[in-house]
Structures are given as C-alpha cells and as structure tokens.
Structure 1
Amino acid sequence: MDTSFGQPVGAICQIAFTVPDLRSAIPVFADRMHAGPWTVMEHVRPATQHYRGKPTDQDVSLAVAFTGSMMVELIEQHDPGPSVYRETIDRKGHGFHHFAVTSTAFDAAEAAYLAIGYQAAFTAGMGPAFGDARVTYLDTTRDLPGMIELIELTPEVDAFFGSIKALSDDWDGTEPIHRP
C-alpha cells in the first residue's frame, strides 16, 4: 500500500536533521536539496510526550518539505532540557538525526522494533488534528546512523503529508516558506 505522498507504508518516508536555527537552515536546504516549499510549525509541544520513559515538555519548531517523494524535516529545539534531539546534538553536533517510517499497524510495528532490542527513546501523541496518531522514536543507533521515528499513519496524517507533497509538485524554487 502506498501513502498519498508516494512512499510505500513501512518504507523510509522522511529524513530529519537538527539545526541551530530553522529560519537560517530553510534557504540552504531549499537551494541544495531542492526541497520546498517549507511548512513551518512553531513551538510544537505535544500534550503527551515521554523521553526515555519519563514525562517531558520539550519545545521544538519543525519545518517539513518534500524533494521528490522524500520528506525532509528540520528540527530546532528551543528549550535546554534533555531530549532525543539534545542527546544527538551533544554527541555529534547538529545534522542528521533520524529516518521516519509510517505504519498502519502501529502497535505491531513498535513491538517488532522493541523485540529486536531497540528502546523507545521518545513517544508522543500528535493530537486530534492528526487523528490522535502516535509517534515513537526508536533508538537504533547501535545499528544505524540515527534513530527511526515510527509514525502511525492515520487518514489525517496521510492527508497532511499529502498536502505538503502537493505543494512541492510544481514548486519553482522561489518563496522557500509556504504561507497559506
């Protein structure tokens, strides 16, 4: 089964990077990766979020865009608290952070990752606008160059990602940030 944005369910659909400043990074990624236009979400704070099993209240801004059928995500963490982003930044600086994959059988997919020894490093609910989809960041760094973000593919998540993809289909490279 394919998503509305062209990637098979279960395949890598996103590559994500931490950046020190979202607004400075967007033009560089737009130019070098021809990813755009970018949809920016400021100060995202899911109501339910856990880092390494403990409640947390991280504050991040996100920007997403497509290059072809691949979504690129940029992440800027605003607070100094511990997080999946901060642990990578502290270890190796800003840059590549995770791959994302979607699942329509979230519980089974998460259980499969946990069964091979990966730990859930961060979990969150995306809220009603996304059909109460869940995400889990799995610490796969023993085997891969970053984590895997498992995204529950609800119809709302698929529609949101599909709308971001549609913006990129005829993007001419101007106006790197989408303004609805």
Structure 2
Amino acid sequence: MSRLFGPIRQNGYVVRDIEAAMAHWIDVLKVGPWFYIDRVKTDWFRHRGQDSALELSIALANSGDLQIELIQQRNDAPSMYKEFLDSGREGLQHVAFWSTDYQSLYDRALGQGYRLGHEGQIGGEQGRFAYFDTGAPANPHAGTVIEISDISGNKGRFFEYVRERSRTWDGSDPIRRLR
C-alpha cells in the first residue's frame, strides 16, 4: 500500500489489438467477463497541458479485487498511451489508485513533485483522472505511470459492478459490449 496513494486498484495495459488482448485474458488466464467500450467519450482530455482529441477503446475486468484495464488508442492524438507505444512497448503501462477525495490526492501528488502527463474527464466532474510520470528515462521504473481516478460518482459504482460480476463469472458471455 502506498502511503501517498493508498492501495493499487488497477493495472492498465496499453495494447495494439484490444480484441486479441481480451481473447488472451479470457482463453489463457481465464479472467472475465470483460466490459468493453469501443469508443470512449471524454468530456475533455489534455496531454502535457495541451488539449488533445484522444480516441480510445477500453475493456475492464477484475481478477479478485484488482481491476485489469485494456486500452487501445484509435488515433494519433498526443497521449501517454501513444508515447508508450511509440517507444516500442506494449503491455503494462500504469498502476491506478482510486479516491473519493480526488482533488486532495491530485494536489498532494503535485506537491510531492509528480509531473502531470495527461488528464481528463469522463461522465462529469466525478469522472476525473490524471496520469503522472514516474521519472526520467534513467529511472529503472520509468514507464510505469501512476494514475489517480475519482470514484466518488458513477464510475465508482460501475467499477464495483465489474468486480461483482467477476466474482460469479462462469465463463459465459465473456465480452459485454457497452455503448
């Protein structure tokens, strides 16, 4: 558990083919069901302080209490996801911490010297999220980004729904497409 952020609640994987990634998690690792949103609508998104027209698809499932997020960027808009892929990597890109007191956690992270990489909002003010750089390329852990996410609203209730569905999943209906 992080003394600054709390427990890790999610591992986020940036992938080039989200359908293939879901199939791997379902067939090989037996994790599911996946809640898949083909085109996520953001209220706003900024990369390194500049507005960016990010287009992405995400899929969410749980392995126990740990949420797994798969992310496929659908365009070339600036983002930390694109930076990750452009560096030749694919896979685990971030660990996420959730908060019902988002602004306080956001301010503490900045106060501790974390550098904001990108941030945005989905579904209103209680859907905010921010990704922080973990250090310069010489840092052996650079590239494992820190995300914080506001779960005080509908997003938190949805995350709990995903977790509960995983507890009783019998392998049927492994991909549940959402709008």
TM-score (norm. length: structure 2):
0.87
**Cα RMSD (Å):** 1.9
Counterpart position of 2:106: 110
Change (3 A) 1:141 1:30: farther
Counterpart position of 1:147: 145
Aligned counterparts of 1:153 and 1:171: Cα–Cα separation in 2? 24
Query: Is structure 2 residue 165 aligned with structure 1 residue 167?
Result: yes
Aligned-partner residue type, residue 89 of structure 1: L
Aligned-partner residue type, residue 81 of structure 1: A
Counterpart position of 1:85: 81
Counterpart position of 1:16: 12
Change (3 A) 1:55 1:179: closer
Unaligned runs of 5+ in 2: none
Shift of 1:47: 2.1
Is the contact between residue 39 and residue 63 of structure 1 (CA under 8 Å) also seen in structure 2? yes
Q: How many residues align?
A: 170
- Residues 92-148 of structure 1, C-alpha deviation per residue, up to 9 Å, x if partnerless? 3211110010112212211221122211111111224xx632101111144645111
- Residues 31-58 of structure 1, C-alpha deviation per residue, up to 9 Å, x if partnerless? 3333200000111131211110000110
Is the contact between residue 33 and residue 67 of structure 1 (CA under 8 Å) also seen in structure 2? no
Report runs of 4+ in structure 1 exceeding 4 Å deviation.
none
Is the contact between residue 41 and residue 122 of structure 2 (CA under 8 Å) also seen in structure 1? no
Aligned counterparts of 2:131 and 2:105: Cα–Cα separation in 1? 12
Query: Is structure 2 residue 68 aligned with structure 1 residue 69?
Result: no
TM-score (norm. length: structure 1):
0.86
Aligned-partner residue type, residue 133 of structure 1: G
Counterpart position of 2:128: 134
Shift of 1:70: 0.7
- Residues 59-99 of structure 1, C-alpha deviation per residue, up to 9 Å, x if partnerless? 00000001111100000111012211011111132111100
Is the contact between residue 18 and residue 74 of structure 1 (CA under 8 Å) also seen in structure 2? yes
Query: Is structure 2 residue 42 aligned with structure 1 residue 46?
Result: yes
Identity over aligned pairs, percent:
29
Aligned-partner residue type, residue 49 of structure 2: G
Give the match's secondary structure for 1:63. Answer: strand
